[in-house]
């Protein structure tokens, strides 16, 4: 009975793992292939980013408001929700956040938020990360991050 259990249950699992490893190894050997473990998070700090932060200075005083807008360069993002979050630099502590829902570009201008503004004052000196994230109606996400200081 144990030979039958081995042949029916264990052997197919072993063969599946070996076959999967061979196929994955072959695919990753091709020069234009890469393994992207987090496909939902695209964007970043590249100069050709599909989303850009406009109006962010490198340094602010504790009484000066941080006012930014976002420019979306990806034509597939014509409507969606925009989130602007400020974190303590290098940490996941949220200092402040703004959510702008159902943002659709007016007159084909890629600048958002439309009809609203992101303006926050941070009264504690330090280094901060400003993260913008645009989630389209089909739940595709693009984001970028920039760092600034408050003195």
Predicted pLDDT at 59: 92
pLDDT at 15: 92
Distance (Å, whole) CA 36 – CA 42: 10
Contact present, 123 and 30 (Cβ < 8 Å): no
Per-residue model confidence as pLDDT tens digits over 8-57: 888 888 999 999 999 888 877 776 666 665 554 444 444 457 889 999 99
**What pLDDT sits at residue 34?**
61
Place of tokens 């943002």: 103
Predicted pLDDT of residue 19: 92
Round to the nearest angstrom and report the end-to-end CA distance of the chain. 75
Supply φ then ψ for residue 10, to 5 degrees.
Answer: -80, -45
pTM above 0.95, yes or no: no
* 28-32, 55-59, 60-64, 137-141: range with lowest mean pLDDT: 28-32
Q: How far apart are CA 110 and CA 51, in angstroms?
A: 10
> Given this model, what pLDDT does residue 44 score?
42
pLDDT tens for residues 63-80?
999 999 988 887 777 788
Give the model's pLDDT for residue 113: 81
Residue 24, pLDDT score = 82
87-123 tens-digit pLDDT: 998 888 899 999 988 888 666 677 888 778 888 999 8
**56 with 70: CB under 8 angstroms?**
no
Other CB atoms within a 10 A radius of the CB of residue 144 amount to 20
């Amino acid at each position: 009975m144990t030979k039958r259990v081995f042949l029916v249950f264990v052997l197919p699992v072993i063969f599946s793992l070996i076959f999967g490893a061979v196929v994955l190894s072959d695919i990753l050997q091709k020069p234009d292939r890469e393994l992207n473990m987090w496909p939902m998070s695209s964007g970043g700090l590249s100069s050709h980013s599909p989303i850009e932060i406009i109006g962010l200075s490198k340094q602010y005083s504790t009484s000066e408001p941080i006012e930014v807008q976002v420019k979306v360069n990806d034509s597939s993002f014509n409507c969606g929700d925009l989130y602007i979050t400020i974190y303590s630099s290098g940490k996941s502590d949220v200092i402040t956040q703004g959510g702008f829902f159902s943002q659709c570009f007016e007159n084909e201008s890629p600048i958002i938020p439309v009809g609203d503004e992101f303006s926050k004052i941070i009264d504690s000196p330090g280094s901060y990360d400003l993260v913008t994230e645009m989630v389209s109606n089909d739940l595709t996400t693009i984001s970028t991050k920039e760092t600034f200081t408050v003195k």
